[in-house]
Amino acid sequence: MNYDLTDEQQMIYKMMKEFSDEVVAPGAEQRDKDKAFPKEIFDQLGKLGIMGLPFPEEYGGSGADTISFAIAVEELSRACGSTGITYSAHVSLGGAPLNLFGTEGQKKDYLVPICTGESLGAFGLTEPNAGSDAGGTETEAKLVNGEWVINGSKCFITNASYAKIVPVTAITARKDGKKEISAIIVPTDKMGFSVKAPYEKMGLNASDTTEIYVEDVHVPEDFMLGKRGEGFKQFLITLDGGRIGIGAMAVGIAQAAYEKALAYAKERTQFGRSISKFQAIQFKLADMAMKLELARGMLYKAAWLKDHGRKFSKEASMCKLYASEICMETCRDAIQIHGGNGYMKEYQVERYMRDAKLLEIGEGTSEVQRMVIAREIGC
């Protein structure tokens, strides 16, 4: 079993580490404070060919594999969680459904701008009454004279303010008390489409998270994404890939918290010696290092399975669940190692924990991941 990264993966790692350290990290603390979305960072990533990293070159992508995507998300998140989630959602929720289910025309019209960075990618799934139970979708689309007329709302949508289109899930028919759910592409410049001002959030403050409203929006019949009635199936497939992105975010943030804690423990002196010499601190750091290594291994395995066309639903949920939970543990212990300083914003570790909490909730809560895993093992 070869654990070495390929030459291409090593190149992506080197480039993303340098970019994250030199471009993303320096302003991360101020962006969090100001709730400032860093559009210029994504413009630069577009020029580097990173915005379409795992998508085919014919649509403006770079044709890289899922492990390379995970590395990119991990490094961006290590520097800034807000940048990491924006990029992860852009690719795994915005671009992936178009690449997987779009027609040739839809890919040329809508995937290409996502790959170049001209548009950020977004996906409209969650609703006020349809969170973990996505089948509770209430947004509705009716076919009238060759057009879909769509009404409804979506919440907690990442990147919608900077997207040219948002595919939304909607009820396209009802039969015997059951909903037929489909995905339909909605251009954001259509009359009746609106984005509410971003939420006030606990963390990830420099990312764009909004509600969207779709009121009597008309789109042509061929704006259906994939097959009619398969929207539910499509978003489950999409979320499997998205969970790899969340796992990568968790590994990146945990890495940042661990590095800060280790450096602080070596520098901070109490009772005449570095606190890294005390067993209580050593054990915390040892556990951080071990859990981080395990999480990264699970992340790369899930990505490898996806790259090789193998079933990866269970591994994606395991990766997302484990990485997000050890990320919170690592951030908590990093704050504890910093003592009173860890509670202060200037030491950054409190930001890591605020950012990390979303990872146990978004794209399926920890409880939902355990449900998926239980189903996959035959319970």
Taking 90 as the threshold, does the pLDDT of residue 134 lie above it? Answer: no
Surface-to-core class of residue 222, CB atoms within 10 Å of its CB (0-12 exposed, 13-18 middle, 19+ buried): exposed
Q: What's the domain range around 215?
A: 140-229
Is 198 within the bounds of a domain? yes
| Across 249-276, average pLDDT | 98
Residue with tokens 């907690």: 156
Is 1 within the bounds of a domain? no
Taking 90 as the threshold, does the pLDDT of residue 350 lie above it? Answer: yes
Residues 254 and 369 in one domain: yes
Residues 311 and 176 in one domain: no
Q: What is the rounded CA–CA span in Å between residue 326 and residue 366?
A: 12
40: CATH: 1.10.540.10
Is 246 within the bounds of a domain? yes
The pLDDT of residue 315:
98
Q: What is the rounded CA–CA span in Å between residue 262 and residue 277?
A: 11
Tokens (6 digits) for 290: 């071990």
Q: Considering the entire predicted model, what is its pTM?
A: 0.96
Is 252 within the bounds of a domain? yes
Residues 175 and 259 in one domain: no
Boundary of a domain, candidates 172, 207, 229: 229
Residues 194 and 223 in one domain: yes
For residue 86, which of 43, 29, 134, 150 has the smallest C-alpha distance? 43
Q: How many CA atoms lie within 13 A of 79 on its CB side?
A: 24
Residues 202 and 286 in one domain: no
Residues 216 and 268 in one domain: no
The pLDDT of residue 230:
95
Taking 90 as the threshold, does the pLDDT of residue 165 lie above it? Answer: yes
DSSP annotation of 348 reads: S
Residues 79 and 33 in one domain: yes
* Residue range 111-120, pLDDT digits in tens: 999 999 999 9
Residues 197 and 256 in one domain: no
Contacts of 294-297 with C-beta under 8 Å, sequence gap 24+, read: 294/322, 294/326, 295/247, 295/250, 295/251, 295/254, 295/319, 295/322, 295/323, 295/326, 295/327, 296/74, 296/251
* Residue range 167-200, pLDDT digits in tens: 999 999 998 888 999 999 999 999 999 999 889 9
Is 128 within the bounds of a domain? no
Is 122 within the bounds of a domain? no
Total domains, the chain? 3
318: CATH: 1.20.140.10
187: CATH: 2.40.110.10
Is 40 within the bounds of a domain? yes
The reply to whether 75 belongs to the active site is no
Residues 363 and 247 in one domain: yes
* Residue range 31-88, pLDDT digits in tens: 999 999 999 999 999 999 999 999 999 999 999 999 999 999 999 999 999 999 999 9
The pLDDT of residue 253:
99
For residue 331, which of 353, 355, 314 has the smallest C-alpha distance? 353
Is 135 within the bounds of a domain? no
Reported as a pLDDT band with limits 50, 70 and 90, residue 246 is very high
Residues 108 and 25 in one domain: yes
User: Crossing angle for the helix pair 279-307 and 313-338, nearest 10 degrees?
Assistant: 160
Which one is catalytic: 325, 350, 360, 363? Answer: 363
Residues 214 and 239 in one domain: no
Residue 293 one-letter amino acid: E
Residues 273 and 290 in one domain: yes
